[in-house]
Amino acid sequence: MPRINEDKKERKNREKKRLIIDALKRCLDREAYSYISLQTVADEAGVSKGGLRYYFHTKEAMFMELIGSFFTDIEKDHLGVIGNIDLARDRAFLSTLYGIERFVLNTRNIKIFLNLVLYGLEDNKIMGPIREFFRNHLNLYEDIVRRAQFGQAGQGDNGFDYQFKARIAQIIFLSAGLLEEVDPIGMDPSRLTRYVISLFGDSRPEN
């Protein structure tokens, strides 16, 4: 019986934390992180500030929880796509890259992403898991480039190694959503992906 009660308590705590983090996401959709306080999120979540502080004692702790859930969801998305597609052909690679960054073109996620990075630039504790995410993200791109078999083994075409090409792809895809949000030109993500593929090796963009 004690164990059952403990499980119920843990489940209740997880649900309450998720409710608070969802409220924080909604707040970030409307305003910058620097204007958000524990009281702001408490009001949005429909709980008292004291109730919120039971789960998150500080604003930093609340954002750390958001970082963990936000980036974990993205990484699961990436791994799921990569694990289920044969990357031996350009078309499969195209589908993979298109799927892997679909979250970038989501306006709400762009706002959350930028707010987290800006907060991280002010707080090293916040920056730690963000930096880890970027490196894991880079490693996933490098894995895709290797498995897609562009260039010679161990060395990319034109003398560029796989990590270099992975970084270029990462930069292009992570910035594309932001630029389209600020100054939209109606960019088709699939065409962007085909262009990136053409930079990596012998494959060429489709018409």
Q: Which residue do the tokens 């930028």 mark? A: 114
Instruction: Give the CA count within 13 Å in the CB-facing half-sphere of 27.
Output: 26
Q: What is the pLDDT at residue 18?
A: 94
Q: Which residues pair with 152 in a beta bridge?
A: 155
Q: Where are the alpha helices (DSSP H) in the chain?
A: 2-30, 38-45, 49-55, 59-83, 90-100, 107-122, 124-147, 162-182, 189-200
User: Mean pLDDT lowest for which of 29-33, 116-120, 154-158, 191-195?
Assistant: 154-158
SS3 of residue 152 by DSSP: strand
Number of CB atoms found within 10 A of residue 118's CB:
13
Buried b (16+ CB within 10 A) or exposed e, 155-175: ebeeeeebeebbbbbbebbee
77-110, pLDDT tens digit by residue? 666 655 555 555 555 666 566 666 665 567 788 8
Q: What is the mean pLDDT of residues 110-126?
A: 92
Confidence of residue 152 (pLDDT cuts 50, 70, 90): very low
182-197, pLDDT tens digit by residue? 888 888 777 787 787 7
Segments making up each domain of the chain, as ranges: 1-57, 58-207
Q: Which residue do the tokens 């119920």 mark? A: 8
Of 62, 26, 69, residue with least CA distance to 44: 26
Q: Cα–Cα distance between 193 and 44 in angstroms, integer?
A: 38
pLDDT at 28 over 80: yes
pLDDT at 35 over 80: yes
Q: What is the pLDDT at residue 24?
A: 97
Q: Cα–Cα distance between 179 and 98 in angstroms, integer?
A: 17
Q: Which fold has domain 58-207?
A: Tetracycline Repressor; domain 2 (1.10.357)
pLDDT higher for 159 or 138? 138
Q: What is the pLDDT at residue 203?
A: 42
pLDDT at 206 over 50: no
Query: Does CATH number 1.10.10.60 belong to domain 1-57?
Result: yes
Mean model confidence pLDDT for the chain? 80
| Burial environment of residue 63 by CB neighbours within 10 A (0 to 12, 13 to 18, 19 or more) | buried
